[in-house]
Structures are given as C-alpha cells and as structure tokens.
Amino acid sequence: MTREAGEKSGGVMIMGRSRNTNLKIFSGMANRPLAEAIATHLDIAVGQAALGRFSNGEIRVIINENVRGTDSYVIQPLCGNANESLMELLVMIDALRRASARRITAVIPYYAYARQDRKSRGREPISAKLVANLLTTAGARRILTMDLHAPQIQGFFDIPLDHLTGVHILAEHFRSKGLDKLMVFSPDAGGVPRARELAEQLGVSLGILDKRRPEPGVSEVINIIGRAAGRQIILIDDMIDTGGTISGGARALLEAGAEAVYACCTHPVLSGAGPENLLRSCIAETVVTDTIPLPEALRGNPRFTALSVAPLMGEAIVRIHEDLSVSHLFET
C-alpha cells in the first residue's frame, strides 16, 4: 500500500494490521495494561523485555529480542512514583539505543514535572525542561504525549514532539449521554482554552470559575463567570490530583443553582487523599482516561468512568511510523 492510499483510507488500521516487524512496542511497569491495549489495537505483541530491581533498588532492564534497525516505541506514563517511572523509561531508552534500534520514540501519556515549567520566584528549577533534556540525552529521538499541563513544554524539546488531546474522547462520552442543558466550565482561567474546545465540540456555552490559591494544593472559588442555575455542568481540567479544586468548584456551582455537576480530565493523578476527596464530593460522575490507571478504590464505582486512549495513541504511533500526518487525526 502506498503512503497516499494509506492517508486516504485513514492509513492507520491497515498498516497496524500488517504485523510490520520493523515496528516494536515496549512497555514500562507504570501502565502495562495501556501498552497491551495499544499493541492489541495494532495487532502486534508487546516487546519482550525483563524489568526488575537489584537488591539495592536500582532498575534492571534487559531487552530479550532483536531490535537492530527497528522503530521502537516505549510506552511509559510518568505516574505512580514519578521518579521511578522516569528512571525506568530512561534506562529502557538507553538499552534500546545500545541495542542499535534505528529510532526510539518515548510514548509518555502523562508527562510529570509539567507543573514546574517556569520560575515563579528566585532559585526555583524548571524541572519540565530538565526532564526533556534527560529524555533526549538518553537517546529518545521523538516524543509522543497527551494533554501537557503547559503546552509551551513542547518548546523545551529539540527533538520532534507530537501532542495529542483527549478532549475528543471526553466529548464523545458526554454527547452519548443525551444531556440537554449542558454547559462547560473551566475551573480556572488557565484552563479556558481546553474548556472552550470541549464546549465547541458539544455546541454549548462556556463559563469560568475565578479562584485563588492561598497555598499549593488549596483553592477557593471567588466568583462564577457564567449562569450556572438550572444547567448540567461539565468541569474539565487536564488532571485531577488531590481533587480539592474540582470538588470545591462543583460545590460552588451547585450552590449557585446548577442541576448537576460532572467532572472530567485526561490524567487521574489522584495523589494523597485524592480518591477519598472525590468519593466524598457532590460530583455526579467523574470521567477520566486510562493514561494513568485508576486507584483500586475507584475501579468499578459507577460514579467513575475510565475511557481508553489506546486507539488514539495506537493510530498516532502508526502514523509516525509511516511518516503520515498526526494532526490529521483531529481534523475531522
């Protein structure tokens, strides 16, 4: 099949089903189920690699198959223990580079340290840039990621980066619910572009919560910009961490007369008391994607829905492999 024919037909599933032995998928330990789902979508097997720890905790990686001359993709969100996940990814990239893989792409569904993308005061690091440098030095020649906390992080890399968005997946879920009084709210001013994209896809109006942060991890809603009374509200963010911001926003909207509040995000970080905060919240349903595995306490709970990003990431991988446009996935 020619590249042009593949582009006209979507180009993705056809090549993904060809069992092209030059395309290899490897997985770290942070989210093995997602890597397996991506590999299933592409009709290939996850590459053979042994991952473990030495007795002193150092990471041990052995690639147990030939990768010489291959286009290899390492799937590893920087979640759970972000430091261990990052180091594991770096060691895997180094192992593949030394095994003569032709091109190594780091597939990072969730990019940690993204909240440290600038200096807001003296003597602070820009950790997001440091992570970019580490990945490049280890041997990554391309990055595939999803919904960066700060889009400008794309500019921290001197190698190509493809940035996917999960808004289309979230929009389809809410569209299927048949809600007729929907309105989208951003939990803060910084999230307005993301909220506007969801509102445009659903064809509904947009509101904003004006909040302040007296300290890290704590937020207070000061003002509600937009009429929430009688509406079914969707609060959207790129990530939910401790759950304080999204829970407080939902409470404020219900007090303002909202009929119901739904929350959604791409990355369910849910650190610390995050799961408990969401369980105690007044949110009708929290919708996330599987870039990060849901905590055990939330799995199977009808108030929590995890949508798969495997088809989207799988098609992006094959488009990269076949030198096709990744942005074409979102043009329709």
Is 303 in the same domain as 181?
yes
Identify the active-site residue in 8, 24, 177, 211: 211
Residue 38 · residue 317 · CB < 8 Å: yes
Tens-place pLDDT, residues 292-321:
999 999 999 999 999 999 999 999 999 999
pLDDT of residue 3: 42
Query: 117-122 long-range contacts, Cβ below 8 Å, gap at least 24?
Result: 117/149, 117/150, 117/152, 117/153, 117/156, 118/150
Is 322 in the same domain as 252?
no
- Residues lower than pLDDT 50 in the chain: 1-18
pLDDT of residue 49: 98
Is 134 in the same domain as 244?
no
- CA angle in degrees (0–180, nearest 5) for 147-109-164: 45
Is 29 in the same domain as 67?
yes
Radius of gyration of the chain (CA): 21
Is 151 in the same domain as 206?
no
Is 31 in the same domain as 126?
yes
Burial of 129 (0-12, 13-18, 19+ CB in 10 A): middle
Is 104 in the same domain as 82?
yes
Is 254 in the same domain as 268?
yes
Is 255 in the same domain as 299?
yes
Is 248 in the same domain as 318?
no
Q: What is the total count of domains within the chain? A: 2
- 181 assigned to active site: no
Residue 153 · residue 114 · CB < 8 Å: yes
CATH number where 101 lies: 3.40.50.2020
Is 131 in the same domain as 150?
yes
Is 72 in the same domain as 95?
yes
- Domain assignment of residue 93, given as a range: 3-165+310-330
